[in-house]
Amino acid sequence: MNGFTRRQFLKLLGATSAFAAAPPALRAATTAPRVVIIGGGFGGATLAKYLKHWGGNIDVTLVDANASHYSCILSNLVVTNAIPMSRITLSYANLAGKYGVTVLKDMAVAIDPDGHKVTLASGMVLPYDRLVLAPGIDFVPIPGWDPNLAPHAWQAGPQTTLLKNQLAAMPTGEFFVMTVPKSPYRCPPGPYERACVVADYLKRRKPGSKVILLDANPGITAEPHNFGTAFSTIYKDVIEYYTNASVLEVDSVNKVVLTSIGSFGGAVLNIIPNQQAGKIVRDTGLTTDPTGRWAPVDVLNYASTTYPDIHVLGDSQASTQPKSGHMASSQAKVCADAMLRGFAGGAPYPAPVTNSACYSPITASTASWLTAVYQYDPASKAMKLVPAAFGEAPAPSGDNYQDMFKWADNIFADSFM
């Protein structure tokens, strides 16, 4: 065990006095703080649940455009018809019934940061003490791109079904052309995972067909060992992998993509465009990072650096942490804890830890994994990767494939149930 230094003790005494000066019951007894959350993905749902689970007397409203959430986690297996859509459909019923969260099927269209009000598409106006934006990603438009013809399937739901149907209808011997966005984007291993499971499907169901994988990055963004090995061995004759291929234009009708390294056409065109923060985050003027696409936050509580009572969670925020459902859920807990401390007159916990763990199917019966832990670094005020805790699976395995479903079930339940 670490020693107990004099400095730590003095700090503790300070914390104790501050605690005594602001009794938490006082604030809670007068009025319930109102928290409005825009976006019911892993970040928004986890925050809603944990504010109630930990806090009790908080008035929590969760706004999402859909009646249920379609999880991107496991969604590549819906594309290949290995699992049904119902397996990744997550209901908000428990958040409402078990935790007392007010769930609204609606969309935020305007925010008044000074008046502390958010206006929804239905016309409803919600006042808030704290507003949380967790809308996920939005796409950077590409000339000629129509997602109804060349689906992204990077927000799960109808897009997943569209890509699944196009894959099923693809003639044998044809090309499945897909693009990998420039980093940072949602789910770093995701595009390579999709290329692998589609290649596995084509090998078994439509032999002679190929995946053309066009990567805007100079190399494989995540799990280079596992995906690189898969591309050069089991999928050597199925996946053609190209790097530094930036998408310039799309002919959605004829399914041709023009890139910086040439034009590629196929029977299926899966365009996963470059990404940015959700529209409501951009419209509120929060995307002030150097790229103008993501919202900088204080990672002790995920408060926007523009408006401290508007928080941004998950994919839309700009931080050192990767964009994924697991990370959004991890950040939501730090945000919930900091918010509850704030309502009680306290400061955020000064040393938060976040983590990411995920499994990626490589074939229809094997998977790899990727894991990372981030510790708060007071010097840089950023979440810093712990190098010793970072890594990918030594090789894909059948056990990992089984563990992938245990992970999914637990993160689904921890966030939504």
Partner 1 sequence: MRTSQKIATALLAALGVAASTSAPAADPMAGRLLASQCAQCHGTDGHAVSGFESLAGESVEEIIKEFREMRADTTPDIMDLQARGYTEEQVRLIAEFFAAQPHSGSDD
Report the residue from 209, 330, 363, 366 that binds partner 1 according to the rule CB under 8 A: 330
Q: Is 311 in the site for partner 1 (CB under 8 A)?
A: no
Q: Is 410 in the site for partner 1 (CB under 8 A)?
A: yes
Nearest distance from C-beta of residue 398 to partner 1, angstroms? 14
Nearest distance from C-beta of residue 6 to partner 1, angstroms? 7
- Nearest to partner 1 of 209, 400 (CB atom): 400
Candidates 13-21, 79-87, 179-187, 252-260; binding stretch for partner 1 (CB under 8 A):
13-21
Nearest distance from C-beta of residue 2 to partner 1, angstroms? 6
Q: Is 31 in the site for partner 1 (CB under 8 A)?
A: no
End-to-end CA distance of the chain: 36
DSSP string across 49-109: HHHHHHHSS-EEEEEESSSEEE-STTHHHHHTTSS-GGGGEEESHHHHHTT--EEEE--EE
Q: In what order do the strands lie in the sheet with 130-133?
A: 102-105, 59-64, 34-38, 130-133, 310-312, 303-304, 295-298, 317-318
Report the residue from 32, 82, 375, 377 that binds partner 1 according to the rule CB under 8 A: 375
User: Which residues neighbour 33 within 8 Å (Cβ) at sequence distance 6 or greater?
Assistant: 27, 58, 59, 129, 130, 343
Candidates 47-55, 97-105, 197-205, 315-323; binding stretch for partner 1 (CB under 8 A):
47-55
User: Which residue, among 318, 350, 376, has the nearest Cα to 14 in the 3D structure?
Assistant: 350
- Nearest to partner 1 of 47, 120 (CB atom): 47
User: Which residues neighbour 95 within 8 Å (Cβ) at sequence distance 6 or greater?
Assistant: 40, 45, 48, 49, 62, 101, 103, 416
Q: Taking a C-beta distance cutoff of 8 angstroms, is the pair 316, 136 a contact?
A: yes
Q: Is 1 in the site for partner 1 (CB under 8 A)?
A: yes
Nearest distance from C-beta of residue 70 to partner 1, angstroms? 19
- Nearest to partner 1 of 238, 297 (CB atom): 297
CA–CA distance, 208 with 196 (Å, rounded to integer): 15
Q: Which residues bind partner 1 (CB under 8 A)?
A: 1-6, 8-9, 12-13, 15-16, 50, 53-54, 326, 329-330, 333-334, 337, 340-341, 349, 351-355, 357, 369, 371-375, 386, 388-391, 393-394, 402-403, 405-407, 409-411, 413-415, 417
